[in-house]
Amino acid sequence: MKIKHIILATATMGLIGLGASSCTSKFDEYNTNQNATTKVTPAMLATRIILDIMELGRSKYFVYDNMLNKQIAWAEGGAESDQYNKLGRVSYSVYTNFTNCQKMLLEAESSSKEVQNSYKGLAKFVKAYQLFYLSMQVGDIPYSDSNGAEEGNIKPAYDTQKEVMMQILEDLEEAQALFASGDNFSGDPILGGSPEKWRKIAVAFEMKVLINLSKKTGDADLKVKERFSKLANSGYLMSSNKDNLQLVYSNTSGQLYPLYQNDHMQYLMVSTTIVDPLKRFNDYRLFYYASPTDYAESNGIAASEWDAYMGIDPSALQSDNNTLHGEGKDCGINERYLQPEGEPLVHIGYMEQNFILAEAALRGWIDSGKASEYYKKGIRASMEFIVDATPDKENFHHGRPITAEYISEYLNQDVIQLNGDFNHDLELVLLQKYLGSYLQHPDNDCFYDNRRTGYPVLPLNPESNLNTDASKFPVRWMYPQSELDYNKENVQAAIDRQYSGNDDFNQIMWILKD
């Protein structure tokens, strides 16, 4: 986003300046921009840190997670690795953000104690957020030793995944306490520097961490159920979509939705895992997610008809899907995603929070009688988010607008009701979470749900699967080559204790073991 990028560039120049010696030459005098700051501020650094966890790349980079989650298929050229389950090595680039966090706290020392608390809370949240997802990819990672580069330690030791999760939970609880005693801070382009809003985000994210620890409820150290119940009853839950941690786009240079004027989007095909259940549930979100097939239009099928929409099996052979795409027998992306504003990109949201609460209720961590209530709140939040983000235009909803009356009718359908059978209900909760996450939540959360529970059910085809074991989905990424080159002793020790020395895509990490 243009304004923010200018801020980041200034902050970067300030950081470089911190390490430069003073000079009074005429050359320096002539080359100093009198309108630019020469000192980095905590606000500048906060902007950079927050955007680092919020922004995605353009073009296909924006939808790679959706390929892995099987929400879309791709018709350009050869088989896409993410769509066909070929994972690679992770990047450790997230660790560079923690250096900025340290500098932010250092520069904030002249601020009031309350403002310092908010910056400290932000730093702890960002560390927990980024390292949670890194650990979900590989298993053991450096956590307690993650800031060592500032002191010259470029060979950090690895914590076990259990130790990582313990420290994440502790940092999130500390972040909540710091935000509770904090004050509004500058430099936040997402939530306006509100410690109250960030506290809700930290609570919601801790609940997400805990639901991903569902196989570890018997661990006396983690206290998964006790922690979750305390959070659910804390009084600091998100109460609407207005509390979302989301990036909002606009028709301004530098703030455009990443799919706007993107020629690659002609190759995006909406998958059967989205289209088929939406049809089964008579769900109008289909008409907001997709455009009708060219085949339907050429055969006189109206865009408001269900038959105008055909999903593509994301596990089918690439050649077969390319043929269907050439014949116009696939749904493209809805035109609303190709507008300058697109829709906000949610990382932690009210919809997701409700589905997490619904799953926790099914598991008996909180009042089981509220499972259906939370489940329906999640569905309603998804639909209301779409309506609020979409202009009321025919080509955006194809004559099937989502109204308050429609939402009420949808929620009363027999086909979507929970019935008290755990597996039936868990499948419905996670399927609705999956449907609401279309082109949202870009952190592979749906993939992790499937990996943990088997839901939502995703298609697997041994003939097209690029995993090293074609009979199953991969369950992890591999460690970076740079670690094997420069920190081999520590990373090898982590590989040995977790995977008997085999850094492979199909090795089961601690969090997935019963």
> Are residues 277 and 199 part of one domain?
no
Amino acid making up residue 301: I
Rounded to an integer, what distance in angstroms lies between the CA atom of residue 351 and that of residue 440? Answer: 11
Number of domains the chain is built from: 3
Range list of H helices, 25-160: 26-30, 42-54, 64-68, 96-107, 113-138
Question: Which pLDDT score is estimated for 32?
Answer: 45
Q: What is the CATH number of the domain that holds 128?
A: 1.25.40.390
- Per-residue pLDDT band for 329 (boundaries 50, 70, 90) equals very high
Rounded to the nearest angstrom, the gap between the alpha carbon of residue 377 and the centroid of all alpha carbons in its chain is 20
Domain end point (choices 320, 336, 352): 336
For 39-86, what is each residue's pLDDT tens digit? 789 999 999 999 999 988 887 889 999 999 999 999 998 899 999 999
Q: Does 491 fall in a domain?
A: yes
Give the least confident one: 20-34, 67-81, 209-223, 405-419: 20-34
Q: Does 427 fall in a domain?
A: no
> Are residues 109 and 23 part of one domain?
no
> Are residues 19 and 93 part of one domain?
no
Residue span of the structural domain in which 142 resides:
89-217+478-514
The rounded mean pLDDT for the chain is 92
Give the least confident one: 31-35, 201-205, 232-236, 497-501: 31-35
Nearest in space to 177 (alpha carbons), one of 157, 203, 156: 203
CB neighbours of 218 closer than 8 A, spacing ≥ 6? none
> Are residues 201 and 102 part of one domain?
yes
Question: What six digits make up the tokens of 16?
Answer: 């470089």
Question: Which pLDDT score is estimated for 31?
Answer: 44
> Are residues 108 and 35 part of one domain?
no
Q: Does 409 fall in a domain?
A: no
Q: Does 359 fall in a domain?
A: no
Q: Does 451 fall in a domain?
A: no
> Are residues 213 and 103 part of one domain?
yes
Domain end point (choices 307, 336, 365): 336
Question: Which pLDDT score is estimated for 39?
Answer: 78
**440 within 8 A of 386, measured Cβ to Cβ:** no
For 376-396, what is each residue's pLDDT tens digit? 999 999 999 999 999 999 999
**101 within 8 A of 108, measured Cβ to Cβ:** no
Q: Does 81 fall in a domain?
A: no
- Per-residue pLDDT band for 398 (boundaries 50, 70, 90) equals very high
Question: Which pLDDT score is estimated for 146?
Answer: 82
Q: Does 84 fall in a domain?
A: no
**373 within 8 A of 291, measured Cβ to Cβ:** no
For 202-228, what is each residue's pLDDT tens digit? 999 999 999 999 999 999 999 999 999
> Are residues 143 and 30 part of one domain?
no
CB neighbours of 254 closer than 8 A, spacing ≥ 6? 1, 2, 3, 4, 5
> Are residues 203 and 106 part of one domain?
yes
Question: What six digits make up the tokens of 429?
Answer: 């909760």
What mean pLDDT do residues 277-298 have? 98
Share of the chain residues as helix, strand and coil, in percent rounded to the nearest 5: 55, 5, 40
> Are residues 270 and 207 part of one domain?
no
Quick check: helix, strand or coil at residue 372? helix
Question: Which pLDDT score is estimated for 148?
Answer: 62
For 233-260, what is each residue's pLDDT tens digit? 999 999 999 999 999 999 999 899 999 9
Question: Which pLDDT score is estimated for 57?
Answer: 82
pTM of the model: 0.92
> Are residues 148 and 211 part of one domain?
yes
Question: Which pLDDT score is estimated for 160?
Answer: 98
What mean pLDDT do residues 487-503 have? 98
For 428-481, what is each residue's pLDDT tens digit? 999 999 999 999 999 999 999 999 999 999 999 999 999 999 999 999 999 999
Nearest in space to 470 (alpha carbons), one of 88, 89, 137, 86: 86
What mean pLDDT do residues 345-369 have? 98
Containing 124, the helix (H) or strand (E) segment is helix 113-138
Does residue 357 carry a pLDDT above 90?
yes
> Are residues 204 and 275 part of one domain?
no
Rounded to an integer, what distance in angstroms lies between the CA atom of residue 383 and that of residue 284? Answer: 9
What mean pLDDT do residues 315-326 have? 97
Q: Does 351 fall in a domain?
A: no
Long-range pairs for 150-156: beta carbons < 8 A, 24 or more residues apart: 150/99, 150/102, 154/486, 154/487, 155/486, 155/487, 155/489, 155/490, 156/487, 156/490
Domain end point (choices 283, 311, 336): 336
For 149-160, what is each residue's pLDDT tens digit? 566 678 999 999
> Are residues 213 and 93 part of one domain?
yes
Does residue 16 carry a pLDDT above 50?
no
For 89-143, what is each residue's pLDDT tens digit? 999 999 999 999 999 999 999 999 999 999 999 999 999 999 999 999 999 999 9
HSE-up of residue 284 (Cα within 13 Å, Cβ side): 23
